[in-house]
């Protein structure tokens, strides 16, 4: 957030500024989003956010902590980042200066982090903890393609978007989440 805020003058001066944030589908598919932590992050209160995350980690069920000890904090930080991008993208400081800001939210992508010392052959989409409708994992190139699309001049009418590039995981888990009707 601070990096992009610092780059805003240069992006605006370019006449065609574009920024793409790498989010995560965890911001919509992990049920343990911590609203208090997200608030601290969005307020820029890093110390309080860290302290809160450490304390909150103890509230995560033991079986979840054993499988993924920081999943709530990870999902919450990606949630806060996506929310920041949507709020920021439509402000006059960004939108009216022609600086477009969008989010690509990857799902399970075969990276060294995902492999954690194993190999791609060890991965099984059918036994993955979240649905994998395409029956396969993503590759970094799948994410890079969509980042590139957001950076293209033809993307001039897109800002504040969050694009899940997750093989259908978000749609499988939350089929009615989008579109949502605006209420009055």
Domains of the chain: 2-30+84-173 (3.40.50.720)
Is residue 34 within 8 Å of 73, Cβ to Cβ?
yes
- Average pLDDT of span 8-17: 96
Instruction: Output the pTM of the full model.
Output: 0.90
Q: Which of 4, 48, 68, 74 is catalytic?
A: 74
**3-state SS assignment for residue 177:** coil
For the cut 80, the answer to whether the pLDDT of residue 69 exceeds it is: no
**3-state SS assignment for residue 50:** helix
Token digits for 26? 């965890």
pLDDT band at 114 (very low <50, low <70, confident <90, very high): confident
Tell me whether residue 74 is one of the annotated catalytic residues. Answer: yes
For the cut 80, the answer to whether the pLDDT of residue 47 exceeds it is: yes
For the cut 80, the answer to whether the pLDDT of residue 60 exceeds it is: no
More confident residue, 50 or 68: 50
- Average pLDDT of span 24-48: 92
More confident residue, 31 or 9: 9
């Amino acid at each position: 957030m601070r990096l992009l805020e610092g780059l805003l003058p240069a992006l605006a001066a370019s006449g065609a500024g574009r920024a793409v944030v790498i989010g995560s589908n965890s911001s919509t598919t992990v049920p343990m989003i911590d609203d208090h932590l997200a608030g601290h992050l969005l307020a820029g209160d890093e110390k309080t956010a860290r302290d809160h995350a450490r304390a909150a980690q103890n509230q995560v069920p033991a079986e979840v902590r054993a499988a993924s000890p920081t999943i709530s904090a990870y999902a919450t930080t990606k949630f806060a980042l996506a929310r920041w991008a949507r709020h920021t993208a439509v402000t006059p400081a960004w939108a009216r200066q022609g600086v477009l800001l969008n989010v690509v939210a990857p799902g399970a992508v075969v990276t060294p982090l995902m492999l954690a010392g194993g190999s791609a052959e060890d991965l099984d989409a059918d036994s993955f903890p979240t649905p994998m409708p395409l029956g396969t994992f993503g590759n970094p190139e799948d994410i890079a393609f969509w980042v590139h699309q957001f950076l293209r001049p033809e993307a001039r009418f897109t800002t504040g978007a969050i694009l899940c590039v997750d093989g259908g995981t978000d749609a499988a888990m939350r089929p009615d989440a989008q579109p949502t009707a605006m209420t009055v």
